Structure 1
Amino acid sequence: MLDLRVIREDPERLRASQRARGESEEVVDELLAADRSRRASLSEFERLRAEQKSLGKEIPPAAGEEKQALLARAKELAAAVKAAEAAADDAQQRLDQLAAVPSNIVLDGVPVGGEEDYTVLREVGEIPALEKVRDHLELGEGLGAIDTERGAKVSGSRFYFLTGVGAQLELGLLNLAMNTAVEAGFTPMITPTLVRPEVMAGTGFLGAHADEIYRLERDDLYLVGTSEVPLAGYHADEILDLSRGPLRYAGWSACYRREAGSHGKDTRGIIRVHQFHKVEMFSYCREEDAADEHERLLGWEERMLAAVELPYRVIDVAAGDLGSSAARKFDCEAWLPSQSRWLELTSTSNCTTFQARRLNVRERTETGTRQVATLNGTLGTTRWLVAILENHQRPDGSVAVPQALRPYVGGRDVLEPV
């Protein structure tokens, strides 16, 4: 949800953002018209209500025909006030519906265009020269680490078991991510994976990508695809103290995605799956500090990628490929040897005040209260195993363990096929 005052003062800014995203500009004019209608309706209601109150003071001292006339007028006014109040409520409801339609306003400097129009900011590390390339599933099966066949037998397609060293690697990766976050000053959190509709809507996930989300209709709850959602709702309807800097949380959760519309894409292995685990950073900060906080989140993500010794690149995602809540997003993509392409492992988004406005999260200032900015970024997730296995593979099907993960797999420096 956007600040209506900003839209009134500079509607072209929202129009430009909508164009950059490839979304309709018509909603801007509709929103402004609804805002004018709501203000006019409210003004008429307040005018009639003031007249009604004034008339109420004239009736007691009146007598005879004058009093009867005043009583008749009071009856008319009561009906008019009731009708005006209903009209104002309808106008407010219409405005609220339209205000939830536009995506967040993209920040200056975000590349214009769609999925392929990103800007590469940097590439880090060297792509390995492999004699024989096996994909992560072949490697994982050889190590006794991944079992997709039994995953499908138990739960259906795009499910899997991580077994033996596979389970150890994931737990090690996530513990390393959580330790990294705690050292950086984040509060560790184990979050709920079921949330109420108002929290899911408040984070902006019930828009264009609502088909990605699992819903439990009987309980009217949603399964989260990221702990960003419960962490965004954690301080809903609260006033925060940010005088000592951002509030930072690191959430560990299971995550669920329907992968709607991805039929035929990365169906082999565990690149696109319905359930996975993730450690997600989430930050509440002052709006003017959000850009710097965004760079800090990206820095912690790159620290994790360096720790597991992966070649990667950082891209500035184009406006048309941003989620509705994000005003800017950086993706970190690791090299995927089996497909000779870059694979997104992590992203970090600056959502400015978009989510906080929906969820009513504010901070106290010297002049009152105002909405805070929210940001998120991933420090580790199941998909990272794909890149770790493939980039550290050896010709015999064994896999070298990055130094940072060795304590989590019994000190082994190499995982051997079983």
Structure 2
Amino acid sequence: MLSLQYIRENVERVKRDVLLRNTTAPIDRILHLDEDRRELLQQVEGLRAKRNTVSKAIGQSKDAADRQVRIAEMRLVGDEIDRLDGRLKKVEAELQEKLYEVPNILDPSVPKGPDETSNQVVEVVGDLPNFPFLPRPHWELGEITGGLDIERGAKMSGSRFYTLHGPLARLQRALIQLMLDEHTRAGFTEAYLPYMLTEASLYAAGQLPKFRDNLYRDAEEDYYFIPTAEVAFVNLYRDEIIPAGQLPMRFVAHTPCFRREKMSAGRDVRGIKRGHQFEKVEMFVYCEPGQSAAELERLVAQARSIPALLGLPYRLVELCSGDVGFNATRTFDLEIWVPGQGEWLEVSSASNCLDFQARRANIRYRSASDQPTKYPHMLNASGLALPRTVIAMMENYQREDGSIAIPEVLQPYMGMDVIPAVSG
């Protein structure tokens, strides 16, 4: 979150960035509450000083009647302090909640625009496949190979669930293993993380209160199912001071992700590219502020290495101001071409969040043992998201009979060079 001091000293920039994000935030209410808080603090401190003075006078007085008058006066002062303290706690509680609603500032280089239509394509890599036949979408290929069953997934759990079987399930596992291997080879430390987190953890990561309606929750135990491993990574060092010499720290993990996002009937109706449960490999970085721009470039390059390794055509897109996420200052997406649907599918978002999440999570570090603490910067990137990478593999490597070729890099993980057609 943004510090109160930063908002106070940069009101116009904060308001401008909120407008550029095409959203709203209670900046004026925050400033009003801040004035109330400071005024109440001044009154309380003045009364406490008065109570201390009266208390000393009582101790020094030898007149019983005078002491009784002063004791009564001190009680009145104490009652007023209690009353003002009550008001102060209410003001501070509301102020904290309002601060949680303010998004991060935007990097000055972010393209301006109201929504995803203003995102800018930075680079397109690889040639789009040219099939001598009409390419099929992944749901047809899933039926032909016998590995995708949407009906049984819906029978078990409702819409937007599915099951994978046989070689397609193995393909997803192989892709996850390949991604983890590539990222750990690049210096990322693999982690196993909880899939359920406390409410405090969701606030620290910037998911609450804004995205409450998109989260699955166990109300009885007060746990939330993670929408992304990023949320867990933020909380690894919550309320801690990272010792000198440990930054940057780079992590990677594979987790399921759970999201309640509403999906309109007219969008992404067919197939499995949008669902309430999906797998994702996530990279995460803690670093010093001066390192975060370079770390964002490193994350983007690392994410790009996966479609390049798999021989999939992809493009790099910089998100505009109206599409950058709540926690981020700057974001790049990777999108892979899927010929069966004739569109680009997002498989990764790489974001620099500056110290926004570190402040919410109360995470600090020391650059040297004799230096004061500072807030680290945090960054995240998908590396990559499933099942969209599975979809891209199916549609880009399909054959005319509906079978799916396995590229050489994946064959050691799969133990086969083709997923055969079993029907069609």
Q: TM-score range by the shorter chain?
A: over 0.9
Report the alpha carbon displacement of residue 29 of structure 1 after superposing the two structures with TM: 1.8
Shift of 1:249: 1.4
Asked if the contact 1:211–1:260 (Cα under 8 Å) also holds between the matched residues in 2, the reply is: no
| Root mean square deviation, CA, Å | 1.6
Once the two structures are TM-superposed, the CA of residue 310 in structure 1 deviates from its matched residue by 0.8
Deviation at 1:194, TM superposition (A): 0.9
Find the residue that maps to 2:39 and give its secondary structure.
helix
8 Å Cα contact 1:158/1:270 also seen in 2: yes
Match of 2:380 in 1: 376
Aligned to 1:124: 125
1:8 match: 8
- The structural deviation recorded for 1:242 is 5.4
**Which whole-Å deviations, capped at 9, do the CAs of 1:256-309 have from their partners, x for residues lacking one?**
122314433212221011211111111111122212111111110000111111
- Counterpart CA distance in 1 for 2:90 and 2:155 is 52
Distance (Å, rounded) in 2 between the aligned partners of 1:89 and 1:199 = 23
1:29 matches 2:33 = no
After TM superposition, give the deviation of residue 207 of structure 1 in Å: 4.0
Deviations 1:179-207 (A, max 9, x none): 11211221211211111111112212234
* Residue identity in the other structure for 2:373: T
Superposed displacement of residue 151, structure 1: 1.5
1:92 aligns with 2:92: yes
Describe the superposition over 1:101-158 as per-residue Cα deviations: whole angstroms up to 9, x where unpaired: 1111111111222121111111111100112210111112222221212212222221
1:188 and 1:249 in contact (8 A); partners too: yes
Q: Which residue of 2 aligns with 1:294?
A: 296
Instruction: Tell me the secondary structure at the aligned position of residue 342 of structure 1.
Output: strand
Measured in 2, the distance between the counterparts of 1:111 and 1:233 equals: 30
Give, as a single letter, the amino acid of the residue that structure 1 aligns with 2:355: T
Per-residue CA deviations over 1:365-399 (Å, capped at 9, x if unaligned) read 45421222111111122221011111111222222
SS of the equivalent of 2:20 reads helix
Partner of 2:40: 41
Counterpart check, 1:388 vs 2:393: yes
User: Are the structure 2 counterparts of residues 207 and 81 from structure 1 closer, same or farther at C-alpha, using a change threshold of 3 Å?
Assistant: closer
For residues 58-95 of structure 1, the C-alpha deviation after alignment (integer angstroms, 9 at most, x for no partner) is 21121224333322321221112212222222221121
Q: Quick one: distance in 2 between partners of 1:258 and 1:97? A: 23
State the AA in 1 paired with 2:93: Q
Instruction: Identify the residue that residue 135 of structure 2 maps to in structure 1.
Output: 133
> Larger deviation: 66-75 or 117-126?
66-75
* Matched ranges for 1:223-262 at <5 A: 223-241=225-243, 243-262=245-264
Aligned identity (percent) is: 38
Distance 2:246 2:99 in 1: 32
**Aligned AA (1:137):** W
Structure 1 residue 255, shift from structure 2 partner: 1.3
1:207–1:324 contact (8 Å) kept in structure 2: no
- Paired AA for residue 350 in structure 2: T
Question: Which runs of 4 or more aligned residues in structure 1 lie more than 3 Å from their structure 2 counterparts after TM superposition?
Answer: 261-264
Superposition map of 1:337-348 within 5 A:
337-348=339-350
Cα displacement (A) at 1:232: 1.2
Q: Distance in 2 between matches of 1:260 and 1:397?
A: 32
Q: Quick check: 2:111–2:120 contact (8 Å CA) kept in 1?
A: yes
Distance in 1 (alpha carbons) for counterparts of 2:264 and 2:223: 24
2:192: which partner in 1? 190
Is the 1:282–1:377 contact (alpha carbons within 8 Å) kept by the matching residues of 2? yes
Structure 2 runs not aligned, ≥5 long: none
8 Å CA contact retained: 1:242, 1:286: no
Counterpart CA distance in 1 for 2:260 and 2:99 is 27
Amino acid in structure 2 at the alignment position of 1:119: Q
Normalised by the size of structure 1, how large is the TM-score?
A: 0.95
Aligned to 1:53, the other structure's residue is in SS state helix
In structure 1, the residue corresponding to 2:206 is in which secondary structure?
coil
Give, in whole Å, the separation in 2 of the partners of 1:37 and 1:181: 50
Q: What is aligned with 1:77?
A: 77
**TM-score (norm: length of structure 2):** 0.94
Partner of 2:24, secondary structure, is: coil
More divergent stretch after superposition (65-74 vs 75-84) = 65-74
What SS is found at the alignment partner of 1:63? coil
Aligned to 1:199, the other structure's residue is in SS state: helix
Alignment match, 2:305: 303
Contact between 2:100 and 2:209, CA under 8 Å: does it hold in 1? no
> Is 1:407 matched up with 2:412?
yes
| Mean CA deviation greater in 138-147 or 161-170 | 138-147
